[in-house]
Structure 1
Amino acid sequence: MQVIATAGHVDHGKSTLVRALTGMEPDRLEEERRRGLTIELGYAWTSLPSGEQVAFVDVPGHERFLATTLAGVGPVPAALFVVAADEGWMPQSEEHLVALEALGVRHGVLAVTRADLADPGPAREEALARLRRGPLAGAEAVAVSGRTGAGLPALAAALDRLVAALPPPDPDAPVRLWVDRAFTVRGSGTVLTGTLPAGRIAVGDTLLLDGEEVRVRGLQSLKRDVTQAVGVARVAVNVRGSGAAAQAARGAALTSPGAWARTAALDVRLVPAARADPASVPSRLVAHIGSAAVPCSLRPLGAPGPQGERHARLRLDRELPLHVGDVLLLRDPGRARGDTAAGRVRVLFAATALDVRPAPLPRRRGAARARGEELAKAAEPGAGPLLRAHGFLSAADLRAMGVPAPGEPVAGGWHADPALWRALPARLAEAARAYAAAHPLDPGMPVEAARRALGLPDRRLVPALVRPPLALDGGRITLGGAPGLPPRVAEAVRRLHAELAPFEAPEAGTLAALGLGPREVAAAVRAGALLRLGGGVVLLPGADERAAAVLRRLPQPFTVSQARQALHTTRRVAVPLLEHLDARGLTRRLSEVLRQCPEVAGGAMPSGLPPPPRSAAWRSPPGSGTRP
């Protein structure tokens, strides 16, 4: 199926033509049929000679209903442009054509209707001359009378050729259905209708309606129940699930989750519409895309280019689901009635979205101009300009923006601007050195601190930037070489070495008197200047190796008390020291009471001893004291 908008300035003749082609009444309202004036969007469909089905969205031609007209033509790929033989090209014809051209519609057929009332030749030539100046230059022209049926077979054949020439839509594209009607059916709930330009909708799908989750409970296409619809198609979707469904109206959007960026701010490239006079651009406009019409404000970014093109930031009054590359029409809502008749169109710009998640502009002079220059450098919207502007974008960000990912992510699903990524390892090294100088007692720069210092969006990016002499150890970035100690701490450790016996542990008060608090002791341990055991016990470095050498000379196996006496130390030191030796494999627990050095007697262990206990916690023998 294809969907075609019928546009032009004649109302009665246009609707009559659709009625003659399809056998259906496109004017749904009694007032429309009474006045011969299209007020609301009308829908009709038929089969062409080839068997291809085509649906028509009949849009109003009167200047007062331009917003409704734009809602109808917004989502469609082609147009049946209607001009009356007895009136020729009219101001409303120009405005409709300007809208189609700005939206990028490149396929169409010209129908010169009311050929029974006047010679269609002059109107045909006049209309074709105008079409040749724009993207619809290749449109076929057919003279036709909706009243008598003359020319209808030729028009159907021309429409068949038009449909065959349309580019095939992507059935796997993300869904974005702009709602042009919303109503409630008793017993079924909310029904949303619209033109599905690409992708597929199936019964049971979970979609988002203006950002809120809904479920598809029923689906029709051309009033026939279907289990799925593939674009291009006219569809009616019965949804349930959120409060948004009950409040839905024209301009709402039904979208695939995660596939569109919902935004109220975007940076755009503005191209003046044909016959528009954008010399004085109002600060408040109406942005049209799909069936949505949203008031917005416009902030210029830099000066206009040689062809009148310029860049701007739009701030919409409500969020819309957008992709980079989407085209919005900007209309001046303040133009007085009669402007169209005077030859002034109300569609001022076609605005192409270049960034749908722009960063806030800095509060400094020249920031807007600099952003405009940055946007002007991008020949086409894409990942490269976006990454230069943002630095980093996740794969999910790019998908929501509708931009193909530029190769593989650098780390953690993130894509980076190549120039920025190349510079970051050197910046990380500088940050690590600065952190070490400011925090000499810390074991290294925490990954989170590095993330903040470099302005990274995710800490998973930090490990990918670590290069020698930096190293990543335990969630901290360390500098190469043995860590040094500040002079004050080094002097305190030297004094401690001079005062301690080999297996003597200083009390907390002694350490504090020397200026060795927990952070200083931790730094000394990392530097290899002290050995820390469990329970806050601190010994001289190498005390464990010396203790193992002493214990090897004891009769094997031995008890804690025997080890304590051999080492001339206290139980406060002996217990954590033996646990440390167990962990290093320098001693081995044989039972609740006994240990042995594995290397004694060539490594042979005494036979007939019970296996080591499962618990690693030391339990003293009954009646043992806590001091020697």
Structure 2
Amino acid sequence: MIIGVAGDTGHGKTTLVRALAQGAAPPAVAVEGEEVWAGALCFLDPPGHPGLVPALLSASGGIDAVALVVAADAGVTAATREQAAILDGMGIDRGVVAVTRTDQAPDRAGPVVAEVRALLAGGGLADAVIVPVSALTGEGIAALRASLLALHPLVRAAAAWARLAVERVRPASGGAVEVTGTLRAGRIAWGDGLLLSPRGSYVKVGALRAAGRAMAVALAGQRLTVELAGPEAALAAAGDWLLHPALHAPTMLMDARVRLRAEERLPGPGEPVRLHLGAAQVPARLAALDGLAAPDAAALVRVTLAEPLAALALDSFVLRDAAGRRTLGGGMVLDPWPPRRAGREPERLAQLVALSQDAGAALRSLLRAGWIDFGAFVRARNLPPAGQAAALAAAGAIRMAGLAVTTAQMARLRAALIEVLAARHRDHPDQPGLTMQRLRLLLPDAPPAALVGPLVEAALRDGAIRQEGRHLSLVSHSVRLSARQERLWRLVRGVLAGARFDPPGVPELAHATGAQPVELRALLKRLSALSWLEEVAPDRFFLRDAVAGMARLAGAVEAQAGTVGLAAFAGQLGVGEAAAARVLDFFDSIGLTRLDGEVRRVRPELRHRFDDALEPPG
């Protein structure tokens, strides 16, 4: 269990830690830097002034509990108050208070205990056990040790992705470096490839060491030193996060909940502050989102950072003034990648309140409004696969193409899809229906294509709707041509089928069918809207099966030559290069082919775009 030792300089912290270590069971004691390992306890005993507060800020997020030291002959000092504010700002609510040097001021122990109780009232450590001790006589040492052991280590997410806050860096042999910190989540093993965030430097894990002993694998909650190798290892710095690549998503904007000290106020939008998260400290500015800026009250804020920060949801942080002289309060990250707009809208504020809950409850609350980016949600929460499944189950949701949505919401969207198509048919009975994109935009809240695509596919499989070319319609809907249009369409179809890959333009087609060009052009435009024809070039209409054949021939030319060359393609079509060029321009315009310099290739995912078109009547 990792115990952070806090207290004013000269109050006997180091002497107390030595006394606790002497009676440890097992008695083996290891000292490494600022860490003293004594049995089941690891004490982080930071250096005295001026390094005390920075060390406390860096380490506080990785400890299991705190031992706050107050000397009986000195009492609560300004430094004690400052450190208590830091601990409270970080949300630390597990700890023990040691009133030291009771042998030197036996009459002061009682009053100092009262001072401490008043100091901690209303904070996370309000109910902390207070033990008067004397490192010289040994009085209270056993009781203090027992009180610390009774707290037990925090339960950390061992199955999550690895995440370690780098507190110290020092060079190692062979060009490697060693970083020290607490593994906040996941596991690290020799040979792992990790990133140093926020800069994104790739490093390889070498030797691992805890309490002076080598280890093959480290688990969440352990205090350890990690050797890093690789060309970018030298870039490691205190304040970095050593983490799995899946978690690397630095931010310069985040939404958070803050709580200020009773004597402080929320800084104005232009007033700089210093934000401490993990072992990093970053200049920042705050803007209230909900107007609750009263002292000692929680407020929702938008945090704008001056430098990238590798923050995740539910990370605790401390706010200090820009000069780093006093602590303003603390807070918790709610959304590390918030939308830039609508930050103060009631719906957004409700989302932020929901995000302060555990993963299952947060997901359930968020999905009441629709769907969310599940990939961003699980990254922000560092949710392992098992945790993702549990959160989805708790919310009654499913994962679909990177999104999370409830089954009830999908049912509502399906009903809306049918109603939108029915309304379209009522208002425009002579039209074929709607394209996928147009249908999506007409659905409530314009759901993303990742949801609408599977929804349409399911409706097609069930026979609730059908597709003709690019258009979707209800199965009961049909577009009928007038008798005159039907006769003209049969004539046009015959001419186009005979010409295949080199159909005549509208004037020649009008001459061949005996139709007026204006009337014929209007009919061809309508048939193109129905996806019965494709207008490949102005006044050049092809049957869709001819376009499908040309697409296949383009793929065959590429397979043979590595590119869809104009001459080769024209040869395959049996037409001149000018006619073939019109077809390739059309393919480029719809994205079927892509021209890169002199090389044109068919996009594999669109190769069969026209193959599934229904045969038009005729």
Name the TM-score, length of structure 2 as normaliser.
0.68
Alignment match of 2:453 (pick from 446, 462, 466) = 462
Letter in structure 2 aligned against 1:192: V
Asked whether the equivalents of residues 251 and 310 of structure 2 are also in contact (C-alpha less than 8 Å), the reply is: yes
Asked whether the equivalents of residues 311 and 372 of structure 1 are also in contact (C-alpha less than 8 Å), the reply is: no
The answer for the alignment partner of 1:361 in structure 2 is 341
Q: State which drifts further: 110-119 or 279-288.
A: 279-288
**3-state DSSP of counterpart to 1:197:** strand
Q: How far does residue 215 in structure 1 lie from its aligned partner after superposition?
A: 2.4
Q: How far does residue 220 in structure 1 lie from its aligned partner after superposition?
A: 0.8
**2:261 matches 1:273:** yes
Shift in alpha-carbon separation, 1:511–1:281, aligned structure 2, 3 A: closer
**2:461 matches 1:471:** no
CA distance in 1, matches of 2:141, 2:63: 22
Letter in structure 2 aligned against 1:401: A
CA distance in 2, matches of 1:299, 1:472: 50
The answer for the alignment partner of 1:44 in structure 2 is 36
**3-state DSSP of counterpart to 2:161:** coil
The answer for the alignment partner of 1:262 in structure 2 is 250
**2:180 matches 1:193:** yes
Measured against aligned partners, the alpha-carbon deviations of 1:44-94 in whole angstroms (never above 9, x if no partner) come to 1111xxxxx211112356478533321122221200110011101112111
CA distance in 2, matches of 1:239, 1:479: 61
Q: How far does residue 498 in structure 1 lie from its aligned partner after superposition?
A: 8.1
**2:367 matches 1:374:** no
Asked whether the equivalents of residues 9 and 83 of structure 1 are also in contact (C-alpha less than 8 Å), the reply is: yes
**2:255 matches 1:284:** no
Equivalent residues in 2 for 1:512-527 (5 A)? 512-513=510-511, 514=515, 515=517, 516=520, 526=532
* Rg (Cα) greater in structure: 1
Equivalent residues in 2 for 1:212-611 (5 A)? 212-241=201-230, 243=232, 245-259=233-247, 262-278=250-266, 283-304=271-292, 308-334=297-323, 346-362=326-342, 368=344, 370=346, 373-375=349-351, 378=354, 380-381=356-357, 382-387=362-367, 391-402=370-381, 404-405=391-392, 406-409=395-398, 411-416=400-405, 421=410, 424-425=413-414, 428=417, 445-448=434-437, 450-451=439-440, 455-459=446-450, 461-464=452-455, 467=459, 470-472=465-467, 476-484=471-479, 491-495=484-488, 508=504, 510-513=508-511, 514=515, 515=517, 516=520, 526=532
Shift in alpha-carbon separation, 1:266–1:62, aligned structure 2, 3 A: same
Shift in alpha-carbon separation, 1:420–1:171, aligned structure 2, 3 A: closer
CA distance in 2, matches of 1:383, 1:242: 40
Larger helix share, 1 or 2: 2
CA distance in 1, matches of 2:492, 2:177: 85
The answer for the alignment partner of 2:590 in structure 1 is none
Shift in alpha-carbon separation, 1:112–1:417, aligned structure 2, 3 A: same
Shift in alpha-carbon separation, 1:378–1:156, aligned structure 2, 3 A: closer
The answer for the alignment partner of 2:156 in structure 1 is 169
Measured against aligned partners, the alpha-carbon deviations of 1:517-540 in whole angstroms (never above 9, x if no partner) come to 66555568849xx9969769xxxx
Shift in alpha-carbon separation, 1:331–1:503, aligned structure 2, 3 A: closer
Asked whether the equivalents of residues 36 and 44 of structure 2 are also in contact (C-alpha less than 8 Å), the reply is: yes
CA distance in 2, matches of 1:329, 1:171: 25
Asked whether the equivalents of residues 176 and 230 of structure 2 are also in contact (C-alpha less than 8 Å), the reply is: no
Letter in structure 2 aligned against 1:358: P
Asked whether the equivalents of residues 269 and 285 of structure 2 are also in contact (C-alpha less than 8 Å), the reply is: no
Asked whether the equivalents of residues 301 and 371 of structure 1 are also in contact (C-alpha less than 8 Å), the reply is: no
Letter in structure 2 aligned against 1:230: L
CA distance in 2, matches of 1:500, 1:276: 81
Letter in structure 1 aligned against 2:181: G
Asked whether the equivalents of residues 465 and 472 of structure 2 are also in contact (C-alpha less than 8 Å), the reply is: yes
The answer for the alignment partner of 1:540 in structure 2 is none
Unaligned runs of 5+ in 1: 29-41, 48-52, 338-345, 537-628
Q: State which drifts further: 259-268 or 425-434.
A: 425-434
CA distance in 1, matches of 2:366, 2:333: 12
The answer for the alignment partner of 2:554 in structure 1 is none
Q: How far does residue 320 in structure 1 lie from its aligned partner after superposition?
A: 3.0
Question: Root-mean-square deviation (CA), in Å?
Answer: 4.2
Q: How far does residue 185 in structure 1 lie from its aligned partner after superposition?
A: 0.5
Asked whether the equivalents of residues 447 and 459 of structure 1 are also in contact (C-alpha less than 8 Å), the reply is: no
Shift in alpha-carbon separation, 1:375–1:59, aligned structure 2, 3 A: farther
